[in-house]
Amino acid sequence: MIRDLVDDAVELTRAEKGTPTFGNVLKTALTSDSYAVLALTRLRQAARRRRLPGVGHVLRLIQTAFYGVEIGRDVELGPGVSLVHTLGTVIGGTSRLGKLVRFMGNNTVGTAKDNGCPVIEDDVVVGCGARILGPVRVGAGAQIGANAVVLSDVPANSVAVGIPAVVVRRGE
């Protein structure tokens, strides 16, 4: 768990400030809401692995009350997941998020029909109000537009917009 916390701080610092110097990493760990949410999630996961009754529930309540974010207990978060604006973000079910996924705020990731949860690969940007629902895969480097509703796979290095989301541009 300690290694995950250090990796989160380093990756968040790298994404926000560039060079992860000791001072920058420490500042991120002490002042970033994204880091606090990740730390609480890592603590919840550790409490669950150690079968500490009630600890995960209390940490979830703290996370929801202070940061307005709900992250399910079976969600897998890669290092450096960034919640630019935490309020209203829900990541549920068995969703899997890669390294440096960035949420702009008020996002929903999960399932609507209990038919599976999304896999979001590395370096994806999820715009404000976007929803990613069902057993879909969002490829590395993709961008999801604001208020888009993703119900099907999004290729790597592409942009998806609309309701339901469609790919409008592909990268190289």
pLDDT reported for residue 170: 59
pLDDT reported for residue 165: 94
DSSP 92-137: -TT-EE-TT-EE-SS-EEE-SSSS---EE-TT-EE-TT-EEESS-E
Q: Which stretches of the chain drop beneath a pLDDT of 70?
A: 170-172
pLDDT reported for residue 11: 87
Distance between CA atoms of 75 and 90, rounded to whole angstroms?
Answer: 11
Domains identified in the chain and CATH numbers = 2-170 (2.160.10.10)
The token duo for 27 is: 């500042």
pTM (predicted TM-score): 0.88
Residue 32 in contact with residue 12, Cβ under 8 Å?
yes
Distance between CA atoms of 120 and 118, rounded to whole angstroms?
Answer: 6
Q: Which of 46, 9, 48, 53 is nearest to 28 (CA)?
A: 9
89: left (phi over 0), alpha (psi -120 to 50) or beta: beta
Cα dihedral value 53, 54, 57, 61, nearest 10? -160
